[in-house]
Amino acid sequence: MTCAVRIRGLEKRFPRVQALRGVDLDIEQGEFFALLGPNGAGKTTLISILAGLTRATAGTAEVMGHDVVRHYRQARRNLGVVPQELVFDPFFTVRESLEFQAGYFGLKRDDAWIDELLSHLALLDKADTNTRRLSGGMKRRVLVAQALVHRPPVIVLDEPTAGVDVELRQSLWAFIHQLNARGHTILLTTHYLEEAETLCQRVAMLKEGHIVALDSTANLLQSGAERHLELVLDGELPDFLQARLRGREAGRYLLALPDYAELEGILAGLRQAGVGVRDLTVGKPDLESVFLKVMREAAP
């Protein structure tokens, strides 16, 4: 099967910085994929090249098998992009903006689909409002609708939830999840790592234009950070636990816990030493800790 996105040796040099330094990446059709990285890592640059907004200095990019430069028309028809910047056209209403966007893609008027999009994005009551008069989160949702109006098989979202409130964030993800279930490939960037962790099957981490980690979310979580145990005790930490100690703050001990099975022994040891446990939390490794670890350890 053709890859939804296929990137080979992608480089982008701006006058003063090199934003991408040889990126290879394949995203299969139907994947829910996260592209993570700190500010300035090159995420938006990579997306812009896919979208044809920026031209690569070297390397190639394809969307559903269509080269984004040579076969730009097919490539763009297959791609829906939610840009990172909050942009809107102050001359037009939400509905007009969507109608125009569909028209630019060569599609005939399809009110039913536009209404469906508006309702999924909780914008129906704003349909005839000028985009200038929307709140930031509403503008963001209009951008999502505009990206979907031509029903692209590959959807790219550059920080789609920045500035969107909790409730709408969840309904937005539910909607995107539904699109993914219907077969759309999703590529997203976000700085909310717990979103990426729950939603995405696979993750690439970008640092200074290099991919420094690329694996399934599950594998990254497993390999990445160790599980840990947080304890609040009646007394001092007994000697037998000193080797596990990773940190201590405000009376809480942070202990390494590579395996759940060891919990039993630790509690038994504490009872024997006569130290009471006031509070206990087992911390699972999360994507955030994995991310921080990868960023720390990755060679620049």
Partner 1 sequence: MIGFWTLFKKEILRFWKVLLQTVAAPILTAFLYLLIFAHVLAAHVQVYPGVGYTAFLMPGLVMMSVLQNTFANASSSLIQSKITGNIVFVLLPPLSYLEFFMAYVLAALVRGLVIGVGVLMVGLLFVDLHLRHPLWILMFGVGAGVVFSCIGMMAGIWAEKFDHLAGVQNFFIMPLTFLSGVFYSIHSLPDFWQGMSRFNPVFYMIDGFRYGFFGVADVDPRLSLAVVVPTALVASLLTLWMLRAGYKLRH
Ligand X SMILES: Nc1ncnc2c1ncn2[C@@H]1O[C@H](COP(=O)(O)OP(=O)(O)OP(=O)(O)O)[C@@H](O)[C@H]1O
The structure tokens listed for 18 are 């090199």
Q: Is the dihedral of CA 128, 142, 52, 57 positive or negative?
A: positive
The CA–CA distances, whole Å, from 299 to 35, 129, 212, 282, 294 equal 19, 50, 8, 31, 9
Q: Is the dihedral of CA 57, 60, 63, 67 positive or negative?
A: positive
Q: Is residue 46 helix, strand or coil?
A: helix
Tell me which residues in 11-50 interact with Mg ion (CB under 5 A).
Answer: 43-44
Question: What is the CA 177 to chain-centroid distance, rounded?
Answer: 13
Please identify which residue in 21, 30, 38, 105 interacts with partner 1, judged by CB under 8 A.
Answer: 105
User: Would you put residue 185 in left (φ > 0), alpha (ψ -120 to 50) or beta?
Assistant: beta
Q: Is the dihedral of CA 96, 99, 102, 105 positive or negative?
A: negative
Tell me which residues in 136-165 interact with ligand X (CB under 6 A).
Answer: none
Query: Of the ranges 40-48, 139-147, 176-184, 282-290, which one interacts with ligand X (CB under 6 A)?
Result: 40-48
Query: Of the ranges 66-74, 238-246, 258-266, 281-289, which one interacts with partner 1 (CB under 8 A)?
Result: 66-74
Q: Does 139 bind partner 1 (CB under 8 A)?
A: no
Nearest Cα to 145, choosing from 189, 113, 185? 113
Q: Does 91 bind partner 1 (CB under 8 A)?
A: yes
Cβ-based nearer residue to ligand X, 20 or 221? 20
Query: Of the ranges 36-44, 60-68, 86-94, 163-171, which one interacts with ligand X (CB under 6 A)?
Result: 36-44
Total number of residues that touch Mg ion (CB under 5 A): 3
Please identify which residue in 10, 37, 43, 48 interacts with partner 1, judged by CB under 8 A.
Answer: 48
Total number of residues that touch partner 1 (CB under 8 A): 36
Residue numbers at the binding site for partner 1 (CB under 8 A) = 14, 48, 51-55, 72-74, 76-77, 79, 81, 83, 85, 87-92, 96-97, 99-108, 146, 150
